[in-house]
């Protein structure tokens, strides 16, 4: 079995060896740029780890793992344009470093490149792997649209929010694992269970991300705390606060999200104070733990020796105890 570090090193080495054309420079340089900015590389590592659960060799999973990472970064380029984001991983976003047109076209090229990498899968399993890939690719688009729709909604139900993050974030982790399992020769039931493990883990991962944005340590989190509050972004904290707030608390919370020129620091302090009084943090932590348990339950159903699941347990532990 490979260790997490060994799989991470394989992913990083493979990305560094990516042989993209030199011209047109303004098409390919942004692709090289965003792939070089790092990130956690969680998704490609999950693909390799899932393959390794069922197979001693992971060579056939390397190109599909890269396809997952390339496609993920393509979505980030377009997300940053839609969000008017200036920074990504402490560096300028692609559309800021170049311009919107360059970013859109480079993103389009990345999506095509992801499929070029994917087509290197063995012909016998390519239809199954392609089906998984297409499912999460479309799901991400659906989730992004839901997220944008939420901006104009005064109230978002918890179920709606969970569905949105399931599509926007979780389906990619689910798909990365299912692809690796298929390549590793897993049975249909094991593919389904490892996918459910990833889906629930992905939901917990995003909920924790929401929590860290407001309650994380700024020195560890790597960016200002409360960015989602300042941007009036609806996260699980907002959704839960609005569903639990009554009377004056509800009026006050709504007013903070309607004031156009409120001092950012004051806004964060005021909203967090309301979150604290409504015990929103406790509710979210309980929700995260419930999805964490569901993930582990499905991991337990996979029909391989416990020792072969250790790497997925370790990855889950890292994700659930992360501080950034």
Give pLDDT, residue 258: 82
Give pTM, 2 decimals: 0.94
Give, for all 324 residues of the chain, the pLDDT tens digit.
999 999 999 999 999 998 899 999 999 999 999 999 888 899 999 999 999 999 999 999 999 999 999 999 999 999 999 988 888 888 999 999 999 999 999 999 999 999 999 999 999 999 999 999 999 999 999 999 999 999 888 889 999 999 999 999 999 999 999 999 999 999 999 999 999 999 999 999 999 999 999 998 765 555 567 888 988 888 999 999 999 999 999 999 989 888 778 898 999 999 999 999 999 999 999 999 999 999 999 999 999 999 999 999 999 998 888 766
Angle of helix 264-277 versus helix 188-215 axis, rounded to 10: 120
Give pLDDT, residue 34: 95
Give pLDDT, residue 74: 97
- List, in order of start, the domains of the chain with CATH numbers: 1-133 (1.10.600.10)
Q: The tokens 């070029």 sit on which residue?
A: 116
Give pLDDT, residue 151: 86
CA pair distance 161, 271, nearest whole angstrom: 19
Burial of 106 (0-12, 13-18, 19+ CB in 10 A): buried
Give pLDDT, residue 219: 56
Give pLDDT, residue 218: 63
CA pair distance 6, 149, nearest whole angstrom: 41
CA pair distance 264, 117, nearest whole angstrom: 44
CA 37 to mean position of chain CA atoms: 16
Side-chain-side CA neighbours of 276 within 13 Å: the count stands at: 8
Strand, coil or helix: 201: helix
DSSP letter for each residue of 110-133? HHHHHHHHHTTS-TTTHHHHHHHH
Angle of helix 188-215 versus helix 280-300 axis, rounded to 10: 160
Strands 91-92 and 87-88: antiparallel
Give pLDDT, residue 324: 63
């Amino acid at each position: 079995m490979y260790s997490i570090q060994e799989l991470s090193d394989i992913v990083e080495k493979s990305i560094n060896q990516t042989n993209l054309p030199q011209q047109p420079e303004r098409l390919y340089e942004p692709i090289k740029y965003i792939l070089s900015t790092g990130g956690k590389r969680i998704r490609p590592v999950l693909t390799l780890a899932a393959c390794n659960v069922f197979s001693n060799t992971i060579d056939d999973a390397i190109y599909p793992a890269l396809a997952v990472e390339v496609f993920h970064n393509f979505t980030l380029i377009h997300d940053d344009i839609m969000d008017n984001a200036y920074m990504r991983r402490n560096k300028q976003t692609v559309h800021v470093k170049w311009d919107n047109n360059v970013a859109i076209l480079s993103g389009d090229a990345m999506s095509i490149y992801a499929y070029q990498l994917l087509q290197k899968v063995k012909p016998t399993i390519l239809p199954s792997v392609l089906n998984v890939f297409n499912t999460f690719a479309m799901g991400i688009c659906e989730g992004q649209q839901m997220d944008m729709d939420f901006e104009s909604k005064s109230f978002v139900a918890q179920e709606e929010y969970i569905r949105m993050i399931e599509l926007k974030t979780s389906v990619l982790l689910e798909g990365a694992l299912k692809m690796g399992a298929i390549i590793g020769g897993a049975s249909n039931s094991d593919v389904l269970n490892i996918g459910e493990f990833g889906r629930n883990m992905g939901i917990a991962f995003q909920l924790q991300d929401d929590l860290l944005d407001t309650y994380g340590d700024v020195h560890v989190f790597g960016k200002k705390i409360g960015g989602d509050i300042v941007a009036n972004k609806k996260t699980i904290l907002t959704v839960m606060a609005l569903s639990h707030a009554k009377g004056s608390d509800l009026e006050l919370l709504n007013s903070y999200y309607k004031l156009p020129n409120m001092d950012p620091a004051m806004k964060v302090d005021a909203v967090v104070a309301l979150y604290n009084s409504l015990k929103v943090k406790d509710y979210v932590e309980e929700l995260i733990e419930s999805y964490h348990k569901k993930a582990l339950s499905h991991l337990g159903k996979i029909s391989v020796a416990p020792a072969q699941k250790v790497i997925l347990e370790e990855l889950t532990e890292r994700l659930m105890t992360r501080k950034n």
